[in-house]
Chains A and B, each alone.
Chain A
Amino acid sequence: MAEKNIPMREALRAALREEMIRDERVFVMGQEVGAWEGTHKVTRGFLDEFGARRVRDTPISEMAIAGAAVGAAMAGLRPVAEIMTINFAFLAFDALINHAAKVRYMFDGQFKVPMVLRCATGWGNQATATHSHTPEPVFAHFPGLYLGCPSTPADAKGMLKAAIRDDNPVLFTEVIALYPKPGLVPDDPDFVLPIGKGDIKRAGKDVTIVAYGRGVEWSLDAAEMLAREGISCEVIDVRWLRPLDLPLIFESFKKTNRCVVVEESLPFYSFGSEIAAQLQEHMFDYMDAPIKRVSAMDVPLPYAKEIELMALPDAHKVVAAVKEII
């Protein structure tokens, strides 16, 4: 199959474009998706190609962007709405949690909500406290909503296509730092990666490192460094925080008996907490060491670069965590 080496933003653009060509009901709406061609240029050229009916600029109205996407999806369209960054999606929390995630259940299956809400996520490069959130676990807390966050361009394409084709609401977060990073991406317009399926990004036998989003990059760098010292790490990219591919994590853990969880998010009530809890509940007999968690520090992110980077995880912190339990 043909592949192209393209950055993640182009992979996302290809997924979105192919799905809009494939299904007339798919359309995009959000701030600056049209004339501006997307804050992160994911919708570059869309207004010219698809027109204003299917490429809809919105006011800065996060509640209405998310809420109108819910209504349009309930009524039979397949909106791909965009909130510029997930920091602003806190304004849309009610529309996502009380509406997108609930209407199917509370009306007992009378409605489907086939919508995707795309948000850029992650550390903002001195963007400071309110613009640097990576809050996926907060949104993944609630049943009724799926949440995916790709770590490579190929995953970005396959996962976004799966999200658009699925009949459930999906919060799809895209790590800002990964938009320009290239990777091989299949041309196939039916390249779809199933929702809830994680991926072993590097096979190993001594420690399981579980990560998502940008955490995968740090974990792979750490695994490389550790390999030079004879420590073999298996790096699992869950891809989806909900549904979570627990069987993949459990199978790896049965082999390694050790686990480090890596995330850009905060440590309290976190992704790491959930994985650790699941492992001790279901894999206690296989456990040879405490589960370690590598995350951002439990502080808001400051402006000054020197202390901002101090608060964030990196590959060296992952290496240190692995060494503590090996």
Chain B
Amino acid sequence: MSDLTRTTLTRAELIEAYHQMVLIRRFEEKCKELYNARKIGGVYLHLYNGQEATGVGAIKALKPTDHVITAYRDHGIAIAKGADVKRLMAEMFGKRTGVSGGKGGSMHLADVNVRMWGGYAIVGGHLPLAAGIALKSKYNDDGEVVLCFVGDGATNNGYFHEALNLSSVWDLPVVWLIENNLYGMGTPVHVASGQPELHKRAIAYGMKDYGRVDGMDFFAVYEVTQQAVEYARTTGPVLIEAITYRYEGHGVSDRIYMKRVEEMQMFQQRDPLIVMQTKLREMFPDIEPELAKVEPSVAAIVEEAVRFAEASPVPTAEDLTRNVYA
């Protein structure tokens, strides 16, 4: 249980964070519906439902000038960093107005204007990129921090080792945040990792270890990330492990995962939206009217995004060959 008194966010900011978490949930539910209706294409659709508190809690601990980079489960991260929801939905549809011009799709959402450096689809491949972006901050001494989301599955390939080690020997301002949702695709963490307490990997790199945090609790994630970000800004890289859960399997078509009913129910009892509502009510007994406005507001945003995406043009033959080179 996190200490509520330690949050530095205002009531308005907390409502905004809650709004963002609900927006991610409803955006993802809409994506699933549209994917099943074949309006959203692609072989995969990796949804963020269940992990909202981790993404939003961590990103709220950043300054707007700080940087975020993640893997392919990127919709929620892009929303949390402030990318335009209409253009995110348009990207799902493969439209020209999408954040990546309809050329990236679900797994490659970037918005350079809000310093969202993208979703990357080679497991671990974005980790050295995060180190490189942080090297820019170090090189220019500009005080900016990179928050790099890392799937639990990525902790077992070479990129993880090389990028974390390099960040340590160069004292780079990176917060490595492992989103441990218990499975790398279908393989449980304890089957894949000799040391399933993933944050302990920090020891191997002489890196500050911020331990495990309850990734279903916005406040817990926010607080630990806030400390971690300040450490990274002034001193060097840090590692955090957030325990979280994805409700939809690796991709929405992942059937085996759906058999894990008990485990799912256990996590759903600690659903990030419910946990946050409960805490907000404890903190602000008169908050009900504000909470009540969130769902209708989110529904309107998602609806508008879908309308925008549907009405947008598809990319052209010129778009096909554009931006191969600068």
Contacts and interface: CB of A to CB of B under 8 A. Distances in A.
Nearest to A76: B136
A66 B162 CA distance: 11
Interface stretch (A101-109, A221-229, A305-313): A101-109
Nearest to B170: A56
Interface stretch (B122-130, B206-214, B275-283): B122-130
B135 interface: yes
A69 B112 contact: no
A113 B324 CA distance: 11
A292 B129 CA distance: 43
Interface string A136-163: 0000000110100000000000000000
Contact of A94 (B110, B112, B118, B122): B122
Given A64-B131, A168-B326, A108 B100 contact: yes
A75 B136 contact: yes
A95 interface: yes
Interface in B71-115: 99-104, 108, 110-112
Contacts of B162: 59, 61-64, 67
Contacts of A114: 326
B135 A72 contact: yes
Contact of A107 (B100, B131, B322): B100
A66 B132 CA distance: 9
A216 to B, nearest CB: 26
B104 A64 contact: no
A209 to B, nearest CB: 29
Nearest to B137: A75
Given A72-B132, A107-B110, A111-B112, A98 B125 contact: yes
B326 A104 contact: yes
A284 to B, nearest CB: 26
Nearest to B138: A53
A58 B135 contact: no
A111 B136 CA distance: 15
Given A74-B133, A75-B136, A59 B165 contact: yes
B166 A69 contact: no
Nearest to B128: A67
A66 B128 contact: yes
Contacts of B284: none
Contact of A71 (B110, B133, B169, B170): B133
B163 A68 contact: yes
A296 interface: no
B88 to A, nearest CB: 13
Contacts of B127: 67
A77 interface: yes
B132 A106 contact: no
B158 interface: yes
A70 B117 CA distance: 12
Contacts of B99: 107
B103 A75 contact: no
| Range for the number of chain A residues in contact with chain B | 35 or more
A167 interface: yes
A46 interface: no
A85 B305 CA distance: 49
B136 A144 contact: no
Given A77-B139, A106-B108, A108-B323, A68 B125 contact: no
Interface string A89-124: 001001100110001111111111110000000000
B136 A77 contact: yes
B267 interface: no
Contacts of B159: 63-64, 67
Contacts of B136: 71-72, 75-77
B100 A73 contact: no
Nearest to A81: B132
B324 A104 contact: yes
B323 A69 contact: no
A71 B170 CA distance: 15
Residue from B111, B132, B169 whose CB has the most chain A CB atoms within 10 Å = B132
Contact of A74 (B122, B132, B163): B132
B321 to A, nearest CB: 9
A58 B162 CA distance: 10
Contact of B166 (A68, A99, A167, A168): A68
A106 B132 CA distance: 19
Interface centre among B159, B166, B319 (most CB of A within 10 A): B166
B101 A68 contact: no
A110 B112 contact: yes
B165 A67 contact: no
Nearest to A101: B324
A58 B132 contact: no
Q: Which of B110, B112, B139 has the most CB of A within 10 A?
A: B139
B132 A71 contact: yes
A240 interface: no
A108 B103 contact: yes
Interface string A34-66: 000000000000000000010010110111101
Contacts of A72: 132-133, 135-136, 139
A115 to B, nearest CB: 9
A27 interface: yes
13 contacts: A63-B163, A67-B129, A69-B132, A71-B131, A75-B133, A77-B136, A91-B158, A95-B128, A99-B125, A108-B319, A108-B322, A109-B101, A146-B325
Instruction: Give the 4 A-B CB pairs with smallest separation, nearest first.
Output: A71-B132, A67-B128, A108-B101, A64-B162
Interface of B: 67, 99-104, 108, 110-112, 117-118, 120, 122, 125, 127-137, 139, 158-159, 162-163, 165-166, 169-170, 319, 322-326
Interface of A: 27, 53, 56, 58-59, 61-64, 66-77, 79, 91, 94-95, 98-99, 103-114, 143-144, 146, 166-168
